Structure 1
Amino acid sequence: MSKKIKAFILVLVGLVLINIGTQRFYGRFDLTTDKRYTLSEVSTSILDKIDGSLYITVYLEGDFPAEFKRLQIETQQFLEELRAENSSIVIRFENPDDIREELVKKGMIPSQLTVEEDGQLSQAIIFPWAEVEYQNRGSIVSLLPQSIVASQEEQLQNAVESLEFSFVDAINNIVKKKRKRVAVITGNGQLEDRYLYSFLSEVAKKNSLAKFTLDSVASNPQRTLQDLSTFDLAIIAKPTQKFTEEEKFTLDQYITNGGKTLWMIDNVQADMDSLLASGRMLAYPRDLNLTDLLFSYGVRINTSLIQDLYAAKIPLSTGNVGNQPQFQNLPWFYHPVVNGNPNHPITKNVSPVRMQFVTQIDTLKNTIQKTPLLVSSLLTKKTGTPNFIELQSIANEPKEEEYKGSYQLFGVLLEGDFNSAYKSRIKPYNTPLFKGQSTPNKMIVISDGDVGRNQLLKGKPHDLSTDKWTNEQFGNKDLLINAVDYLLDDSGLITLRNKNLQINNLDKQRAFKERTYWQFLNVVLPLLLLFGFGFVLNYLRRKKYS
């Protein structure tokens, strides 16, 4: 047998062995510096729960701007990572043009974009949505989260960073077999259901939601505590009536037994409706009998109202034209617009949040970890209560020297082992569930009861994210939904919102100005070099063989 035949056989056998090896042993390598295509342990553990076909339909298909072509590619590459982790995932990209009405009915609202191409601005409409279906259950995924950004490049960056959380969160919601239980506490003059609809309807999509009244504490406190302890989270939204010691003790022991809490507390009686009706109102401290309870957990809500030059606008009548009143939107400093903590998953990429007649929170020294979530600007001013507030003050020019305050804390996350407020006190009633200190637990305290209150439009709940008068967008709904997700998250899924990626974007203005240079460099120059090389080669050949 000749050496050539032997070499051919060896190569052939080698190729066959390599092919068998690659089929047996499969691996993917992420060589990006930010590990963009590496799934977290949380994601892989959730994907392992899928035991049947899971369909993901993406509606980013068709003719749209280059930036969102990039989002399409990033989405496709990420979904391929999901499919590589679990082969039961089926991915489809569909053009939404023929099914737009159907998608809108499902809650997938299209986005209208201003696109800059070749130095010209144009409008484009896209459906940045996806749909996840699994065993007759479904969920929709927004590929373009709402946030205040300076440019479409920053919007794209936020969208790509949110891909893993958005898809894995949707998959987890339809795959998990047991839903968390959320109690909306009533009985102390809390907000009516219609004012919490926009917020709670979103909570109900992921969790089991129920109203829970503390009125039964008066007749059977032990049973009330036992029933409340079956819930994973309690939402206390703007109570206006004083809590009894038995009710406080019930909430305290719910917390020390592991229950999570979201507090939205107004410590001052101040109502915008009464101010608009009469033009003047008395703002005064509201005694809810919660000060010692929150004090034991490490916070104190004060009774001084905060004015901030960064404020939301309210519509006011400025006169009449003919018989028609004329309205103008003017900034109302008692409604601060505050930014969230950019380094925490609850508030990262969340639009500024509107507060209404808010007071500041003081944090106290103890072992509880305290993370600020909502903080005012530096341009603040305190107004002590009781005090009269007049609507006509909106016309007064603010004096800069009066608004040189400091950052004011309006929302805080508390995490740690909470001490019972009744650890060294006489208990209002005896219960076998009593604990003097909790195991690791967490709660969120916001010093504005109206932060989750939606407006009514023609008697129906209006979207919490939008002001019905000014059409300004706020992050209140996103903040509260993220807060609930964080408090109920035992797996660490919410931390994926803190994922940071570096997207290299094209400088459009420079590309437009220098387009002739780059076109010559990339198109004409290679052709000239190729022509020159061929000409020289042909000349040398002719000279050598002539």
Structure 2
Amino acid sequence: MKKYYNSLILIGILILVNLLSYKFFYRFDMTSDHQFTLSNATKNILKSLDDPVTITAYFSKNLPPDIQKTREDFRDMLEEYAGISGGMVEYRFVDPSSDKDKEQEALQSGIRPVMIKVREKDEIKQQKSFLGATISLDERKEIIPFIKPGAPLEYELSTAIKKVSIENKPPVAILSGHGEPGLDELSQVEQSLSILYNPETVDLKNVNEISPKYKVALLIAPKDSFDTGDLQKLDKFLSGGGNLVLAINSVEGDFQNSRGVIVNTGIENWLQEKGLNIEHKFVVDFDCGTVSVQQKQGYFTMVNQVKFPFLPIIRNFADHTITKGIEEVILKFASPMKFIGDSTVNFVELATTSDRSGVVDGNTYFDVINKKWTSADFNRPNIPVAGILEGKLAGDVDSKMVVYSDGDFAVTGKGRNKVNDNNISFLVNAVDWLGDDTGLIELRTKGVVSRPIEQKYLTEDASGKRSLIKYLNFGLPILLVILIGIFMMQRRKAIRIKRMQEEY
């Protein structure tokens, strides 16, 4: 009878715990960058909503377990959003697979089905499924056409809510007229900017001035020379309190001819007058990206990935709002920069190369295959490649410039190659900081994680340490299992001996 009552008490406790956990939900987030905790940026977006936002989630039912988890995670997130917003976020789930009308609704909303492999009766077959959502407020609408399983959901959902909740976005000027890439070549930058701003192209050659309605203007990878009049327009913009983002090339790599060349646009001399010297040299770094090289091996032509120090991977960042959450940026043919100004202008280094970096003359030949890089090539550590100029840069009014010594690091180009998300954030964060709207910086870099092996473990001197770690990873779990087995065996043996002693 006592056992029966104990069972009832246990069942009652379990029911109570379930009821309480449903009413008072809390998630313990043990990840290093709090992947499962809503950021302050998201909370501020939700609390600032003046009108209700409607989210319609189009998810098919009968999904495989790993994809079904995405549906449940999305529902949990929407519940949390609704609670924080004070009821300003309303949501509903629709199964487009249940009938033709709902499927048509999903298609008209911009949600396209995807084919998913499912196992049914020991057979693998393709199943048409929907995994998307729409976010709407009045006539404004944003679409998340496909919610990728395992991908961070918060950024996409929060930025979509932010976009529909802003009625009048401030404009941002993207300067042109000197061979700069167009918006079609800056698709990722434009997409990221369009959350908070209206990016507008301004042809510097065809305007008398950069309109004061722009708080921030971007000048990205100009190729043609600037005349005195164009430089004066930049000065006038700064003297009126405007802020600039400059990403410029003082050198350029020509892969087709395997050569590096010097670039002169006049911006370099203009920057020197402001106190910043960008050298006509290439930065090279031991910590670098790779290029594809065709090499013949017998009768076969193999494509190999070869390290190319002219593509430095930057991991040293200042503790600044612009660099918050950024772990690494890959540059394409960067140059060294050095502050040469006086006390009227303040310079802040935003990013530098690694401890093993150096410089190469601007007019050089790329010998990708035969060049043997040694420590002598990397004798100039921690070279600045991005920085901020603040002060009276033109006239008597304080203004700011964020300068990058690589003009192409955020350029997508006309192909379909996607630029590293951190590269885009590194540029767009500067616009947010200069425009005094830093709310999305924390959110933009959340979920962009890189965990490279530290260089100190990759040297020849560290080979013994690498072997030790390898053998520990392999042997320690086995040793723990054996020890637990011995402990359990001894424990059972002691229990048997004790029982035998009690019987006698």
Q: TM class by shorter-chain length?
A: 0.5 to 0.7
Letter aligned with residue 281 of structure 2: S
Alignment-derived partner of residue 433 in structure 1: none
Matches within 5 A, 1:7-22: none
Change (3 A) 1:331 1:136: same
Which sits farther off after the overlay, 329-338 or 44-53?
44-53
Matches within 5 A, 1:358-437: 358-363=334-339, 364=341, 366=343, 370-385=347-362, 387=363, 389-414=364-389, 416=390, 418-421=391-394, 423=395, 436-437=396-397
Give the % identical residues.
17
The offset of 1:291, in angstroms, is 3.2
Kindly indicate whether the alpha-carbon contact (under 8 Å) linking 1:412 and 1:444 is maintained by their aligned counterparts in 2: yes
**Structure 1 unmatched ranges of 5 or more:** 1-26, 113-125, 147-154, 424-435, 466-472, 501-506, 522-546
Alignment-derived partner of residue 308 in structure 2: 332
Aligned to 2:253, which of 252, 268, 271? 271
CA distance in 1, matches of 2:53, 2:308: 53
CA distance in 1, matches of 2:345, 2:113: 41
Residue-by-residue CA offset, 1:191-245 (whole Å, 9 max, x unaligned): 355433443354346532322112135xxx3xx24xx222232121111233233
Alignment-derived partner of residue 208 in structure 1: 198
Alignment-derived partner of residue 494 in structure 1: 441
Change (3 A) 1:328 1:53: closer
The offset of 1:411, in angstroms, is 1.9
Matches within 5 A, 1:269-348: 270-272=252-254, 275-276=255-256, 278-279=257-258, 281=259, 283-284=261-262, 286-293=264-271, 295-296=273-274, 299-319=276-296, 325-339=301-315, 341=317, 343-344=319-320, 346-348=322-324
Matched, 1:250 2:233: yes
Letter aligned with residue 477 of structure 1: I
Alignment-derived partner of residue 330 in structure 2: 354
Residue-by-residue CA offset, 1:233-276 (whole Å, 9 max, x unaligned): 212111123323332222122123233322111122x232xx42
The offset of 1:79, in angstroms, is 4.3
Aligned to 1:454, which of 408, 412, 424? 412
CA distance in 1, matches of 2:407, 2:417: 17
Change (3 A) 1:330 1:142: farther
Letter aligned with residue 196 of structure 1: L
Residue-by-residue CA offset, 1:316-370 (whole Å, 9 max, x unaligned): 2323876x75432222221212236385554444463222221022235646665
Letter aligned with residue 424 of structure 2: K
Kindly indicate whether the alpha-carbon contact (under 8 Å) linking 1:111 and 1:128 is maintained by their aligned counterparts in 2: no
Residue-by-residue CA offset, 1:523-545 (whole Å, 9 max, x unaligned): xxxxxxxxxxxxxxxxxxxxxxx
CA distance in 2, matches of 1:111, 1:355: 37
Change (3 A) 1:145 1:57: closer
Q: Pairwise CA RMSD of aligned residues?
A: 5.1
Alignment-derived partner of residue 138 in structure 2: 135
Kindly indicate whether the alpha-carbon contact (under 8 Å) linking 1:232 and 1:488 is maintained by their aligned counterparts in 2: yes
Matched, 1:55 2:55: yes
Matched, 1:463 2:421: no
**Structure 2 unmatched ranges of 5 or more:** 1-22, 118-128, 448-472, 489-504
Which sits farther off after the overlay, 374-383 or 88-97?
88-97
CA distance in 2, matches of 1:108, 1:482: 34
Residue-by-residue CA offset, 1:67-103 (whole Å, 9 max, x unaligned): x95995597267425434321311346679998x969
Residue-by-residue CA offset, 1:17-69 (whole Å, 9 max, x unaligned): xxxxxxxxxx9999989999788498447633332343263869955459x95
If the length of structure 2 is used for normalisation, what is the TM-score? 0.65
Equivalent pairs counted in the alignment come to 417
Alignment-derived partner of residue 83 in structure 2: 83
The offset of 1:474, in angstroms, is 6.5
Alignment-derived partner of residue 426 in structure 2: 479
Change (3 A) 1:485 1:63: farther
Q: Per the alignment, in what secondary structure is the counterpart of residue 395 of structure 1?
A: coil
Kindly indicate whether the alpha-carbon contact (under 8 Å) linking 1:352 and 1:474 is maintained by their aligned counterparts in 2: no
Alignment-derived partner of residue 20 in structure 1: none
CA distance in 1, matches of 2:109, 2:237: 41
CA distance in 1, matches of 2:144, 2:392: 40
